[in-house]
Amino acid sequence: MRVFVFLARRLIFAIILMLGVSAAIFFLINAIGNPIELMMAETPGMTGEVIERMKGYYGLDQPPLTRYLLWLGRLLHLDFGTSIVYNQPVGSLIATWGWQTLKIQLPAILIALAIAILFGVTAARRQHSRSDFTVMGTALLGQSLPAFFLGILLIFVFSYTLDWLPSYGAYSTRNPLWGSPTLDALWHMILPVAMLTFFNTATLTLLMRSNMVDVLKSDFIAAMRASGIPERRVIYVHALRAAFIPMLTYLGLLIGLMLGTAPVTESVFTWPGLGSLYVAAIHQLDYPVIMGASAVIAFMLICTTLLTDVIYVLIDPRISLE
Amino acid sequence: MTDQTIASHVSAPKPAAKPARGIWRQGWQRFARSRTGMLGLVLVLIVVATAVIGPFVAPFDAQDQSPMLDPGAKAPPSWTNPLGTDRMGYDVLSRVIYGAPTALAVGLGAMSIAAAIGILVGGVAGYRGGTTDEVLMRFTDFFLVIPMFVVILAVVRLLGVAVVDTPFESVPYLNLGVIILLIGVFSWAPIARMTRAEFLRLKNQEFVEAARCIGATSGDILFRHILPNALPSLIVIIALGIGGAVLAEAMIGFLGFGDPAAVSWGQLLYFNYQALKVAPWASLSPGLAIFVTVLGFNLLADGLTDAFNPRAKN
Amino acid sequence: MAGLAAETQAAAAAPRPPEATASPAPVLVSVENLRIQFPPWNAPVRVVEDVSYQVRTGETMGIVGESGSGKTLSSLAILNLLPPPARIAGGRILFEGEDLAAKSQAQMQKLRGRRLAMIFQNPGYSLNPLLTVGAQLAEILKVHEKLPRSAALQRVEELFRLVGITDPGSRLSQYPHEMSGGMKQRVCIARALLCHPALVLADEPTTALDVTIQAQILDLLEELKQRLGMSMIFVTHDMGVVARIADRITVMYAGQVCETGDKQAIFARPSHPYTQALLASTPRIDKSYAVDAQGRRERLPTVGLAATPGQSLGGGCRFAGRCPEAVPECTRLVPQAAAIEPGRSVHCLKRGSAGVPGHG
């Protein structure tokens, strides 16, 4: 029962946040000017009459508040409107392009997590040793290496110098690798996934290490060892579980933000994902896509924050439900 | 007035100044022992020196495209152009040097804004408590979930169109200013949370109560007693934030939304990335500059943690 | 299970605590010249130096010393669980005829929790906060006795009853944070006794508890020790606690043994200057303290000046810097054990110990 009350409260707060964030984005964009007018300002030879007709067509002749409420109302039916540039429903655009984003982001997070656990635990168990120092140093460097610059380096080395891997796109336009579209898609994923993995791994490893160092110092680990629980179980089941809990917040943030950082990471590889869609929409002032995509990106972050809270309650018995 | 009173007057401030200096001096001693921190300080000083002296010693002017004629565009490094020339015939070294003041302006400018808002909001929330705290912290949560990057891109682009044919168009570096402002406005939330936590911790400590007992005003307590003690933790998060702001501006520039009038590393990458295969020096040099700057501030923050909050690390 | 029954029988058959005259019980643990060091290894910090003592079956050895005297480290060394980078640099730990110091971690793992068990100082920290107490205790039985979960939980419940946990059945599914400090320490004691170990190491098990709970836990330990016939090494800084629970006492100072002997003898006739000073500084309920003309109560004596850190781990007798009886040799020569009574030895040049040129 208490769990449901807790969940309901969190859900309500998340919905309020969602409304607030979408309104903020909406009015911030509209405060600058009417999107159609701005769009047409860059298109020579547009008469006032055409502009008015366009406004009417896209429902942009209403005052901003009415438009926001209309947009919100359609959103409830999962209707994001129609893209001005692509002339397709924004919802299906986001779904297709978003899938490409998840395809590289999720594997990158999972691989990074596995690496972080491996290196973080190893470094923590040999604190102040040479291997600890190496792991820490690499992670500190990795934290400061901008993902997009890393991507450029990877392309320079593996595509241009060694000519092993493709430098752009999600698939070959002609002649897929070994005639298999699946292998071809995987082949194209290697560099973007490598870039995102490295980027994610740095902070995750540092967190894992410092949490693990704290946990390994705690009495209950000593007590488990003193009770004859095998070392492997102590480290990889009990200590890992305890050290993992504080990482959830960051992991949730990483998943929540993966769409938010996609514009940069995807533009390095000209990857046809949500980020590229968004950047293109901004360049072309494709207003419904800008609104829809930014709402989805914010929604993702709010949802993962909510999910993180729920998971905390499920796995950490110490958290009381208010 | 006798000589004695003057003498005592002169020496009086000394003992008073000492305890205030203690925490900083001790911090510096610990900082000096932190290898990462010192490396960070050196890197940051290199960037600062480049920003300050660089423009006077750069071989070419920021907007000088004359190398286009002599070695030509995308020429490899040579004696006249130590880092080669780029796609548009600029001298890469000079452009990278001119990027340093821009990067620092973004980092320091954005973080000044973020720190001002963050300390104000967090400080009031932490000091007042109650409903004020609740409302302000919900407001802060709200700023934490706005996808800053996505919003900044949209605003910068739309603003770029909106100002055409308005008096704003002639404002120098308007775009850069807006980018700095927006990065600042979207980065204060973590600072506010940290400030609030520090103020909550400090406001009930005995020295603050003692100050209240001797009748210090709220402002006095806040600015003379609590804030100075919260500063060490805040400095760490602000140093990290400077690196983050430099990186954010680089990403905006890399996507082509930077200020066309300013020389920025991200924008250099944007202009030259397409020619990575032919003229890698033109892309790798500004990329490396971003890396060194961000690394410098991150390491500096690491050293500052060692200096002021040694228990935060193991 | 069979082994456990035999064990309990054997303990019951053995005559309980050896008064000096009766034929003494067999020696269970013998710590011989134990030395524990910290890096740098080219000039190691010798935190425990040449420590020797023996614990007999069914006997409780109280190890007394101030913090930093190496009493906790020397008991962790018995489990071969020194926190890195500390290392056993010399000596033997004979337990049931085998040298524990020479065993591998894998071999030790099979002994820990089964033949040797430990009770930690702070019950709040020594239980896994993420598991129910039932689950974490059952896991130990699963490891050592391959018991299925239900049988293991049943055994845990029995032990909960034994250590006086009320409503043991429903406690099994509680998390540590749902229990009081005293209750948690009972759980920790139950954990130590799960496989009926021959030796229990208790490291200040009452220090983190309220005074009333302390008394309850001490009563419980005393009662359990008698019922189960196990040996115990009880580490504490509190003379009052050892007076209650120990049969024999080893007094340690800065990593060296000062003296060892029966509790009665040490309390009645403390020999080493440090023990004398320690006892003199302990307030006693059976002694009246004088009040002077101004109404000020007589002050308790204190143990001399604190030594400088460098001196305290240097050569010779480490107490020399604070010792009222010290002679110049004391800072140079390490005093060896000298028997002064049956079952009693002291390490002091002024009490007849031989001196060996000290470790720098």
Number of CB pairs < 8 Å for A and C? 78
Question: What CA–CA distance (Å, rounded) separates A144 from B247?
Answer: 9
**Which residues have C-beta within 8 Å of that of residue C212, sequence separation ≥ 6?**
none
Short-list C203, C207, C214, C324, CA closest to C273: C324
Query: What confidence tier does B16 reach under pLDDT thresholds 50, 70, 90?
Result: very low
Note the pLDDT of residue B29.
81
Least trusted range by pLDDT, from B182-186, C142-146, C338-342 = C338-342
- Alpha carbons B107 and B36: distance in angstroms, whole number: 21
Closest CA to C83 of A225, A243, A244: A225
Task: Answer whether C79 sits within 8 Å of A226, measured CB to CB.
Answer: yes
pLDDT of amino acid C233: 93
Please count the structural domains in chain B. Answer: 1
Q: Are A256 and A304 in contact (CB under 8 A)?
A: yes
Give residue-wise pLDDT tens across range A118-158.
999 988 888 778 888 888 888 888 888 888 888 889 988 88
Per-residue confidence (pLDDT) for residue C199, from 0 to 100:
92
Say which residue the tokens 């040579």 belong to.
Answer: B78
Task: Retrieve residue C143's tokens.
Answer: 């490891």
Best mean pLDDT range from A63-67, B80-84, B155-159, C262-266:
C262-266
A52 touching C, CB under 8 A?
Answer: no
pLDDT of residue A300: 86
Question: Please, what is the Cα angle at B141 between B127 and A101, to 5 degrees?
Answer: 155
Residues 6 or more apart whose CB falls under 8 angstroms from that of C325 comprise: C273, C350
Range of weakest confidence among A12-26, B70-84, C99-113, C258-272: B70-84
- The per-residue pLDDT for range B258-287, each reduced to its tens digit, is 888 888 898 888 888 888 777 788 888 888
Six-digit token string for B285? 């040099």
Q: Which of A22-31, A160-169, C297-306 has the lowest mean pLDDT?
A: C297-306
Residue B274 is assigned to a structural domain of this protein: yes
What's the pLDDT score for residue A46? 64
Q: Using CA atoms, how far apart are residues B128 and B123, in angstroms rounded to an integer?
A: 8
Question: Is the pLDDT assigned to residue C66 strictly greater than 70?
Answer: yes
Check CB contact of A269 with chain B, cutoff 8 Å.
Answer: no
The pLDDT of residue A45: 65
B246 contact partners, CB below 8 Å, separation of at least 6:
B103, B104, B106, B107, B290, B293, B294, B297
Other beta carbons less than 10 A from residue C119's beta carbon? 27
Q: Which of A149, A293, A301 sits opposite B287 (nearest CB)?
A: A149
Inter-chain CB proximity A219 and C112 less than 8 Å: no
pLDDT at C356 over 60: yes
Count of CB pairs separated by less than 8 Å, A with B: 133
Contacts of C195 (CB under 8 A, 6+ apart): C4, C113, C114, C115, C117, C140, C141, C144, C145
- Band (C15; pLDDT cuts 50, 70, 90): very low
Q: How confident is the model at residue C116 (pLDDT cuts 50, 70, 90)?
A: very high
Residue to mutate among A32, A144, A269, with most B CBs inside 10 A, is: A144
Give the nearest partner residue to B151 out of A28, A35, A155, using CB atoms.
A28
ipTM above 0.85, yes or no: no
Asked if residue B261 belongs to a domain, the reply is yes
Contact B150 A21 (CB under 8 A): no
- Which of B238-248 are b and which e, b meaning 16 or more Cβ less than 10 Å from the residue's Cβ? bbbbbbbbbbb
- Is residue B270 domain-resident? yes
| Any C CB within 8 A of A227 CB | yes
Residue with tokens 């949500």: A274
Residue B161: Cβ-neighbour burial (10 angstroms; 0-12, 13-18, 19+) = middle
- Chain A and chain B touch, per 3+ beta carbon pairs within 8 A: yes
Quick check: is B296 in a domain? yes
Residues of A in contact with B169 (CB under 8 A): none
Cβ count near A27 (within 10 Å): 13
In this predicted structure, what is the pLDDT of residue C16?
A: 46
Would B28 be classed as within a structural domain?
Answer: no
Min distance B54 CA to chain A CA atoms (Å): 23
B231: region left, alpha or beta (phi > 0 left; psi from -120 to 50 alpha)? alpha
- Supply the DSSP string of B80-122, one letter for each residue: SSTT-B-TTS-BHHHHHHHHHHHHHHHHHHHHHHHHHHHHHHH
Of residues B116 and B282, more confidence is placed in B116
- What CATH number did the domain enclosing B270 receive? 1.10.3720.10
B56's CB contacts (< 8 A; 6+ apart) are none
Which residues from chain B sit within 8 angstroms of residue A141, using beta carbons? 295
Which of A50-54, A92-96, A288-292, C142-146 is least confident? A50-54
Residue B35 lies in a domain: no
Query: What are C151-185's pLDDT values in tens digits?
Result: 999 999 999 998 889 899 899 999 998 898 889 99
A219, C81: Cβ pair inside 8 Å? Answer: no
B290 phi and psi angles, rounded to 5 deg: -60, -45
Q: Do A41 and B247 touch (CB under 8 A)?
A: no
Q: Looking at A115-124, C10-19, C73-82, which range is the least confident one?
A: C10-19
> Does residue C29 have a pLDDT over 50?
yes
* Average pLDDT score over residue span A287-294: 85
Query: Which of B36, B145, B291 faces A298 most closely, judged by CB atoms?
Result: B145
Residues of B in Cβ contact (< 8 Å) with A28: 151, 154-155
Edge to edge, the sheet with strand C248-253 lists C116-119, C199-203, C231-236, C60-64, C248-253, C256-262, C344-346, C338-341
Higher per-residue pLDDT: C18 or B308: B308
Alpha-carbon gap: C60 to the closest alpha carbon of chain A (Å): 19
Report pLDDT for C192.
92
Residue B259 included in any domain: yes
Predicted TM-score (pTM) of the model is: 0.81
Out of A20, A141, A210, closest to residue B295 by CB: A141
With CB atoms and an 8 Å threshold, state whether B287 touches A153: yes
Lowest mean pLDDT across A81-90, A233-242, A275-284, B5-14: B5-14
Determine, for residues C109 and A228 on separate chains, whether the beta-carbon distance falls below 8 Å. yes
Task: Please name the residue that has the structure tokens 């309220």.
Answer: C210
Which residue is closest to A219 within chain C, CA to CA?
A: C126
Give domain status of residue B247, yes or no: yes
Compute the Cα dihedral for A240, A241, A247, A252 and give only its sign.
Answer: positive
* Local confidence band at C342 (pLDDT 50, 70, 90 cut-offs): confident
- CA C146 to CA B5: how far, in whole Å? 86
Identity at C255, one-letter amino acid code: G
Residue, of B112 and C336, whose pLDDT is higher: B112
pLDDT of C4 reads 43
Dmax over CA atoms of chain C, in Å, equals: 72
pLDDT given for residue A110 in this prediction? 94
Lowest mean pLDDT among A9-13, A35-39, B45-49, C118-122: A35-39
Chain segment B166-218, per-residue pLDDT in tens: 777 777 788 888 899 999 999 999 999 999 988 888 888 888 888 888 888 88
**B277 neighbourhood in chain A, CB within 8 Å:** 160
Interface mutation target, options A126, A215, A216, A220, chain C, most CBs of C under 10 Å: A220
DSSP 8-class letter at C336? P
Tokens of B113: 């804004």
Rg for chain C, CA atoms, rounded: 21
Domain extent, residue B203, equals 46-55+84-308
Taking CA–CA distances from C110, the nearest residue in chain A reads A228
% residues pLDDT > 70 (chain B)? 90
Distance CA C163, CA C141 (A): 17
Residue B297 banded pLDDT, cuts 50, 70, 90: very high
Whether the predicted pLDDT of A195 surpasses 80 = yes
- Percentage of chain C surpassing pLDDT 70? 87
Chains C and B touch (3+ CB pairs under 8 A): no
- Lowest-confidence range among A135-139, B94-98, B159-163, C312-316? C312-316
Asked whether the predicted pLDDT for residue C96 surpasses 90, the reply is no
